[in-house]
Structure 1
Amino acid sequence: MKKTLAHANRMLKLFGFFKVPLIWYCRPKILVLNEERVQIRIPLKRRNKNHLNSMYFGVLAVGADVAGGFMAMSKSESRGKKISLAFKSVTAEFLKRPEADVIFTCDDGKLIDEMLDQTIASGERVNQPVRITATCPTLHGDEPMAIFDLTLSVKAIN
């Protein structure tokens, strides 16, 4: 994945603007993108707060979606393969109110590589859960605010 962060962020903005406007509206930014990890920050702004002045849970779901899906899209693009990507299920545990910018981290790069290898070899859809952890480093360090388990579903497109 030799993509620069600037290029990755441009692609994310374009994808959000043209394909999933809610992603664009939440203004995610990729902070880290490598073979193992992706980190996305969504700033806490008036547009994504709830009535308790913390991040609305729907915005938290957007952050988890981007963190879980962007790495798979980027890895397939770097292989020159097109994939169909979706999430089949989601479970979330909301532990603490995120009252500042939220960082969404997914460290499942190896698992996603295995999924891509399997779907490219077999042509079949592959489903595996990926974990995304949401933190507010400015207020709580590495303490999780929420933990998401999303079942990533990928299939190679011929």
Structure 2
Amino acid sequence: MELTVSKLNRFVFFKLPSAFICGVRVKSIDKDKCVVTVKHRWINQNPFNSMYFAVQAMAAELTTGAMVIAKIQQSGKKISMLVANNKSNFSKKATGRITFECKDGHLIEDAIQKTIATGEGQTFWMKSIGTNEEGVQVSEMDFEWSIRIK
């Protein structure tokens, strides 16, 4: 079963309701790239008139995690996934619609193959870049994913 934008947004609604309420939405996904947007609104603001960092983190993590879910489904194996670490850098106030994009889908397949072959857990880092409507980078987030065959 292919993971589509509508299926992912339904997943966000039922399994990540705080992200859904804050406006996090998947816009596109393919084997190498995922795009998620979120608009600065009252519900997701901080006291400094910009988007709260945790809302940005939810959107950024979804760009990476959605591709991990898709690749695990494609493998046909039972594999667990978990964020082991994350790093963030905020370079500008996040106002308006922020678009997060991850282009690291190519990193996942190798780790899945290794965990299937060896039975040992694997880790890999994926980067998501957040840009505003003018195309200016507002944040950069790195997530270390840990996967393991069940």
Give me the whole-angstrom Cα distance separating, in 1, the residues matched to 2:19 and 2:62: 8
8 Å contact kept, 1:41–1:102: yes
Unaligned runs of 5+ residues in structure 1 are none
Identical-residue share of aligned pairs (%)? 27
Amino acid at match of 1:6: S
Cα deviations by residue, 1:114-145 (Å, 9 ceiling, x for unpaired): 11111122221111111110111x2x22x211
Question: Could you tell me the TM-score, scaled by structure 1's length?
Answer: 0.86
Amino acid at match of 1:51: P
1:12 alignment counterpart: 12
1:90 alignment counterpart: 86
Give me the whole-angstrom Cα distance separating, in 2, the residues matched to 1:54 and 1:145: 11
1:43 alignment counterpart: 39
Equivalent residue runs for 1:66-85 within 5 Å:
66-85=62-81
Unaligned runs of 5+ residues in structure 2 are none
How many residue pairs get matched? 150
- Corresponding position: 1:123 with 2:116: no
1:144 alignment counterpart: 137
Cα deviations by residue, 1:46-93 (Å, 9 ceiling, x for unpaired): 110111221011111111221121110122113222321111111111
Task: Specify which of 142, 147, 150 is matched with residue 154 of structure 1.
Answer: 147
Question: Could you tell me the TM-score, scaled by structure 2's length?
Answer: 0.90
Amino acid at match of 2:144: T
